[in-house]
Amino acid sequence: MYDFQRGNLNFNLDELKPNETWGDKLQRLLKYWEEDTQLRDILITGGDALMSQNKSLKKILDAVLDMAIRKVEANKKRADGEKHAEIQRIRLGTRLLAYLPQRITKELTQILGDFKQRASEYGIKQFVIQTHFESPMEVTPESALAVKRLVSIGWTVTNQLVFTSAASRRGHTAKLRKVLNDIGEISYYTFSVKGFLENTFNYATNARAVQEQIEEKSIGHIPSEFTEEIKLFPLNAERMVENLKQLREKANIPFLATDRNVINLPGVGKSLTFRTIGITRWGRRILEFDYDHTRWHSPIIDKIGKVVIIESKPIGEYMNQLVDMGEDITEYKSVWGYSIGETEHCTSIFEYPPYKFNTTEELTNLEI
């Protein structure tokens, strides 16, 4: 959808004709990572990483590993404190575990397992499959088997829920977190739908995202005494099912609230730090967003300032939509009071492992 908005996809065949081969483009893209001083995480999506054939995916992974090795070798010539960040985490973004879990074949798991084994020798420690389960009903026996195969070869499986109006119903997201934990998957983000007009029907207000965070997700709060324990889970992903079960039992909670409720906005990034500064004549709230102060950002963020948006749907209209879905509206009445939000801290399970050296403070690929 976004490529159509930007004009990248159209029906002018001359403009759609590529100017370079995929092999050349891949090397050009990886050169960006190789020369950057701070990047340590690479996400492969392309829309859906697992839509690629096994041969193509292996080619991409091999190229990524070659780039990571070159970064390691180049660092050997740099003094401590001047070394560049090395690649620590590889992520593959896909929705196929939800709607085509049969894609996770033995051949694919062999490719991913072999890549993990080779990449681990060069400092890459975290291997992640990012999925998009929207409902507990999507977690079928076939999906559970797909997750089991990936976990068995040491890949951590995480979920990014798109917080649509349907997915935002009371208890829906909490149930999904529990079901995913049961099969060895952890929640990563709960994304509010961007407020484009074409998304109006699916839009759940930011007030509802804050309400869910405080009134529902909180029952899965992880006590601080388990911070160090959960941090090690991705390094031993083969035991993810057992580790998640044991930690929930020790903490006496139904699920681990490892995800953060956010909205992804241009100029702000992922954040739920906002305050309501007005309301339109039609009841749509006007929100002033600030960036996520819990994490480090490039200096360019200071040049941008805060971002103001008008939500694409009034809370009243959203509530009427819930009624049409059969919801008891009295269970949502406190949503009107949520006029400010604060971005949660990242759970320790998603932290990068420490390096054995000090990296440079120099920033590259940055123009202010």
pLDDT tens for each residue of 79-108: 999 999 999 999 999 999 999 999 999 999
The C-alpha atoms of residue 105 and residue 133 are separated, in whole angstroms, by 19
* Amino acid identity, position 196: F
Could you tell me if residue 90 is inside a domain? yes
Average pLDDT over residues 115-135: 96
Taking residues 337-352, what's their average pLDDT?
95
Q: Cβ distance 129 to 155 under 8 Å?
A: yes
Structural domain contains residue 366: no
- With respect to residue 312, please indicate whether it lies within any of the assigned structural domains: no
**What Å distances lie between residue 76 and 70, 307, 356, CA to CA?**
10, 42, 13
Q: What is the DSSP letter of 87?
A: P
151, part of any domain: yes
**Residue 43 resides in a domain:** yes
Q: How far apart are CA 58 and CA 273, in angstroms?
A: 39
The pairing of strands 340-341 and 273-279 is antiparallel
Strand partners, 265: 269
Count the domains in the chain: 1
Residue span of the structural domain in which 204 resides: 2-264
Q: How far apart are the first and last CA of the chain?
A: 29
Q: Is 164 helix (H, G, I), strand (E, B) or coil?
A: strand
Tens-place pLDDT, residues 56-68: 999 999 999 999 9
The model's pLDDT over 2-39, given as tens digits with 9 standing for 90+, comes to: 455 556 666 677 776 778 888 899 999 999 999 999 99
- How confident is the model at residue 4, as a pLDDT? 52
Per-residue confidence band for 198, with pLDDT thresholds at 50, 70 and 90: confident
Angle at 148 between CA 145 and CA 150, to 5 degrees: 115
d(CA 11, CA 20) in angstroms, rounded, equals 19
Q: Does residue 143 sit within a domain?
A: yes
172 in any annotated domain = yes
Q: How confident is the model over 231-240, as a mean pLDDT?
A: 95
pLDDT tens across 293-313, in order? 887 776 776 777 788 999 989
In a domain, 309, yes or no: no
| CATH number of the domain to which 136 belongs | 3.20.20.70
Q: Please state the rounded mean pLDDT for residues 321-346.
A: 96
Q: Which two tokens stand for residue 317?
A: 């209209």
Q: What is the pLDDT of residue 8?
A: 62
